[in-house]
Structure 1
Amino acid sequence: GSENLVEALKIGAFIEEYDIADLKRLLEETQNTDVIRVYGHLLGGSENHMWAFTNALKQQSATYNPTIITNEEYQEILNTTED
């Protein structure tokens, strides 16, 4: 039941975290404005999904601890996206 849901939410958050780190790296490697715009939109989507997974975990009395991005980056995503 809820244990499987929590694990699924944590996996979803991890996948978004991985995507966020990957997109940030890719953004640093390109100068193409069209590519930057697309990566920026993808990054925004991943950050929104990260917020949603974290919020769903809170509703299950569970937490997510980032392992790829820094805790500071994670908190910034949560604080920015909830507005």
Structure 2
Amino acid sequence: MFGIVYKNYTDESNKLLVYFGSQMTLIFLLLYKTIQIPYYWIFKRRPEVLTIPEKNIDIIPSLILIVGSVILPFIIDSFIIRKLM
């Protein structure tokens, strides 16, 4: 909410950074929770999200989280938000 309000009511040049940054944190949490549930059922442990995970199987959820957190805010903005407004 803060990112949307900040984007619509300020005249600063870097307002898109705040807008997409606020979405990235929310999307990271949503992605982590959705990845964590099936991962826990399969491997009986939670995935490690590090730059270099200790186990090789943790690379896949880490990549999904990193790429999804960066790309999904732009996809949501271009396909959903702009069509609603």
Higher Rg: 2
Structure 2 length-normalised TM: 0.38
TM-score normalized by the length of structure 1: 0.38
The structure whose RCO (Cα within 8 Å, separation 6+) is larger is 1
